[in-house]
Amino acid sequence: MVVTKFDTEKRKDMFKVEVDPDKCVGDEECIEVCPVDVLQLNNGKASPVRPDDCLGCESCVQVCEFLAIKVTEV
Determine the structural domain holding residue 37 and report its residue range: 5-73
Which percentage of the chain shows pLDDT scores above 70? 82
- CATH at 13: 3.30.70.20
Per-residue CA distances from 29 to 2, 58, 73, 74 (Å):
22, 13, 22, 25
9-22 residue pLDDT tens: 555 559 999 999 99
Average pLDDT over residues 28-55: 97
What's residue 72's pLDDT? 97
Q: Could you give the percent of the chain with pLDDT greater than 90?
A: 82
**Model pLDDT for residues 46-71, shown as the tens digit of each residue:** 999 999 999 999 999 999 999 999 99
Count: domains in the chain: 1
